[in-house]
Amino acid sequence: KAGVTQTPRYLIKTRGQQVTLSCSPISGHRSVSWYQQTPGQGLQFLFEYFSETQRNKGNFPGRFSGRQFSNSRSEMNVSTLELGDSALYLCASSWEGGGQETQYFGPGTRLLVL
């Protein structure tokens, strides 16, 4: 069974631009969670989607948004990029989500904002 895939793997943007990241979960998984990883703040929870609905949200500004499609694929969007948004963005999928079961992570998208 194919693992979690994320595209693109690397991305360079400039301040003020917007970016969309994509995550394809393991087949059959309905939950997709997104995390931001930076050297200073470590790993932080962004949000979780389940059956096309945002089920949980971390403490990030509204510039960070996401959505989930009927095939469970998810996208994350960051608008008006800031230098501090440079990070590794990870998505994870699981059957029922909610953090109550094993999550399977993708390789991440490394975003650099100049």
Q: Which residues bind another protein (CB under 8 A)?
A: 4, 42-45, 56, 58, 90, 92, 98-108
Q: How many angstroms separate the CA atoms of 56 and 53, rounded? A: 9
Structure tokens at 87: 């990070």
Q: Toward another protein, which CB reaches closer, 82 or 96?
A: 96
Q: Toward another protein, which CB reaches closer, 9 or 63?
A: 9
Task: Please state, in angstroms and as integers, the Cα–Cα distance from residue 6 to each residue in 9, 55, 90, 105, following that order.
Answer: 7, 21, 8, 9
Q: Toward another protein, which CB reaches closer, 44 or 65?
A: 44
Give me the least distance between CB of 16 and another protein, in Å please: 29
